[in-house]
């Protein structure tokens, strides 16, 4: 935790944070420390005058148009105030200049009031947590069901376009680093062998009852706030909210809740599918969304998991072949391990297809 009470000896980064806080009218004594485990944006917790805030810098290599994020959040906030005022919507604070984004030399910042008596978790330990999270993400899409979804801006073009992710993977095999290609040869072949998941996506999305909805696109457990009784409060991290298919949200829950270990686990023998957690995702999501989804969508519930896990495996492996330009690495071969982990997760899920594909 860094104290910002004396400008002397402060790093350039901390001086910038200090300036950002000034733009929100926070000039008191503050303490600032790093927060959370996201891979893309930087996040800090700020303590000032008995109040806690979350401060974030948006990665504008990834989000090339941060204004689109602000537009979407403000658009959604207006809709929710009119139509579901009871819904807890995690809105950013308005800075003194009237905007929800503060631009500095090194990027865009925004800030939230920290919701008291809330916490996040990094690993799903109980089926009940999976149920709570699935309810929250289902509710999020449901409360926006009446909105003109095409008015939302695209914050990352082709973010969950599996066809494009597959093409990028094939391209990386062609142009990527030779040594890394050799290292990854087995995994490359195994992912190529599953390309029918891409064909599946191309077929289902052309169906007229497969709809674009307000989609979160990052439904990992750390994006749900829980209260002290471990009930879900709301969802956070709304940067990737844009029009999308429900398979993105349900699939990313399967990707991140079904196994007791995350994408970071190098011991793949620990990757297993917890069937009761699958059921919890179904029950939580359907509590909110069962009557909203069309028959055509409900038929793809199981496919959602394959879609997202496969896409994440492709993205990690593509990044490994491209020398970690997107995700970075904390140790040599990190993205290869992550990709291998996701490929095993996909395999484990597919093995359970007959047992899990029971709901519609
Ligand atoms: C990134 O930044 P973070 O951790 O919320 C990524 C997701 C991936 C995830 C994998 C904008 O999310 O799509 O699923 O890493 N977000 C972006 O951990 O690329
Ligand atoms: Mg995110």
CATH number at residue 182: 3.90.1200.10
pLDDT confidence tier of residue 1, bands split at 50, 70 and 90 = low
Examine the domain organization and report whether 208 and 346 are in the same domain.
Answer: yes
- Position 119 in a domain: no
Examine the domain organization and report whether 227 and 282 are in the same domain.
Answer: yes
Is the pLDDT at 38 greater than 90? The verdict is no
Which residue from 216, 254, 262, 253 is spatially nearest to 235, judged by alpha carbons?
216
Domain count for the chain: 2
Domain limits for position 102: 2-114
Tell me which of 40, 319, 339 to substitute to probe ligand 1's pocket, judged by most ligand atoms within 8 Å of the beta carbon: 40
- Position 262 in a domain: yes
Say how far apart CA 95 and CA 104 lie, in whole Å: 13
Q: Which ligand is nearest to the CA of 326?
A: 1
Q: Whose CA is nearest to atom 19 of ligand 1?
A: 40
148-160 mean pLDDT: 97
pLDDT computed for residue 106 by the predictor:
87
Question: From the CB of residue 30, how many other CB atoms can be counted at a distance below 10 Å?
Answer: 20
Question: From the CB of residue 130, how many other CB atoms can be counted at a distance below 10 Å?
Answer: 28
Domain-ending residue, one of 114, 147, 177: 114
pLDDT confidence tier of residue 8, bands split at 50, 70 and 90 = low
Say how far apart CA 335 and CA 343 lie, in whole Å: 12
pLDDT computed for residue 282 by the predictor:
97
pLDDT computed for residue 5 by the predictor:
61
Examine the domain organization and report whether 263 and 303 are in the same domain.
Answer: yes
Q: Which atom of ligand 1 is nearest to the CA of 263?
A: 18
- Position 45 in a domain: yes
pLDDT computed for residue 63 by the predictor:
93
Is the pLDDT at 360 greater than 60? The verdict is no
- Position 66 in a domain: yes
Q: Which atom of ligand 1 is nearest to the CA of 59?
A: 11
Domain-ending residue, one of 114, 145, 164: 114
pLDDT computed for residue 307 by the predictor:
98
- Position 51 in a domain: yes
- Position 155 in a domain: yes
pLDDT confidence tier of residue 49, bands split at 50, 70 and 90 = confident
> What is the pLDDT of the chain when averaged over all its residues?
94
- Position 265 in a domain: yes
191, 314 contact by CB (below 8 A):
yes
Say how far apart CA 218 and CA 240 lie, in whole Å: 7
Provide DSSP, 195-214: THHHHHHHHHTTSTTS--EE
Examine the domain organization and report whether 203 and 351 are in the same domain.
Answer: yes
Residues with CB under 6 A from ligand 1: 38-40, 62, 218, 240, 263, 312
Examine the domain organization and report whether 59 and 87 are in the same domain.
Answer: yes
pLDDT confidence tier of residue 350, bands split at 50, 70 and 90 = very high
Residues with beta carbon < 5 A to ion ligand 2? 218, 237
Examine the domain organization and report whether 34 and 177 are in the same domain.
Answer: no
Examine the domain organization and report whether 252 and 330 are in the same domain.
Answer: yes
Examine the domain organization and report whether 78 and 149 are in the same domain.
Answer: no
47, 28 contact by CB (below 8 A):
no
> How do residues 206-244 score in pLDDT, each as one tens digit?
999 999 999 999 999 999 999 999 999 999 999 999 999
> How do residues 11-37 score in pLDDT, each as one tens digit?
888 889 999 999 999 988 899 999 887
State the distance between the two ends of the chain, measured CA to CA, in whole angstroms. 49
Is the pLDDT at 77 greater than 60? The verdict is yes
Is the pLDDT at 122 greater than 90? The verdict is no
Examine the domain organization and report whether 40 and 19 are in the same domain.
Answer: yes
189-207 mean pLDDT: 97
Examine the domain organization and report whether 213 and 93 are in the same domain.
Answer: no
- Position 63 in a domain: yes
Domain-ending residue, one of 80, 114, 148: 114
Examine the domain organization and report whether 290 and 178 are in the same domain.
Answer: yes
Examine the domain organization and report whether 94 and 132 are in the same domain.
Answer: no
pLDDT computed for residue 6 by the predictor:
61
Say how far apart CA 169 and CA 55 lie, in whole Å: 34
């Amino acid at each position: 935790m860094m104290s910002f009470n004396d400008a002397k000896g402060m790093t350039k980064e901390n001086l910038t944070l200090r300036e950002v806080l000034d733009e929100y009218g926070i000039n008191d004594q503050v303490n600032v420390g790093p927060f959370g485990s996201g891979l893309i944006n930087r996040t800090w917790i700020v303590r000032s005058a008995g109040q806690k805030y979350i401060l974030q810098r948006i990665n504008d290599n990834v989000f090339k148009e941060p204004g689109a994020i602000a537009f979407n959040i403000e658009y959604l906030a207006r809709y929710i105030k009119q139509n579901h005022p009871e819904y807890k919507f995690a809105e950013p604070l308005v800075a003194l200049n009237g905007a929800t984004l503060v631009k500095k030399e090194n990027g865009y910042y925004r800030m939230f009031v920290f919701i008291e008596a809330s916490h996040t978790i990094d690993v799903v330990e109980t089926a009940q947590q999976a149920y709570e999270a699935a309810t929250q993400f289902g509710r999020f899409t449901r409360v926006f069901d009446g909105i003109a979804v095409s008015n939302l801006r695209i914050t990352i073009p082709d973010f969950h376009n599996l066809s494009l992710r597959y093409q990028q993977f094939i391209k990386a095999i062609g142009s990527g680093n030779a040594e890394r290609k050799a290292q990854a040869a087995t995994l490359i072949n195994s992912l190529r062998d599953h390309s029918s998941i891409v064909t599946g996506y191309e077929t289902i999305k052309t169906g007229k009852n497969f709809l674009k909805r307000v989609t979160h696109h990052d439904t990992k457990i750390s994006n749900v706030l829980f209260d002290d009784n471990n009930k879900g409060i709301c969802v956070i991290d709304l940067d990737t909210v844009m029009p999308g298919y429900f398979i993105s949200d349900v699939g990313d829950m399967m990707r991140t809740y079904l196994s007791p270990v995350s994408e970071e686990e190098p011991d793949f023998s620990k990757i297993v599918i917890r069937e009761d957690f699958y059921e919890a995702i179904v029950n939580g999501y359907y509590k909110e969304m069962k009557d909203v989804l069309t028959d055509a969508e409900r038929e793809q519930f199981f496919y959602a998991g394959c879609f997202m896990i496969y896409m994440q495996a492709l993205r990690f492996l593509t990044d490994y072949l491209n020398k970690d330009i997107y995700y970075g690495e904390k140790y040599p071969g990190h993205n290869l391990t992550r990709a291998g982990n996701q490929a095993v997760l996909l395999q484990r899920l597919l093995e359970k297809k007959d047992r899990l594909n029971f709901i519609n």
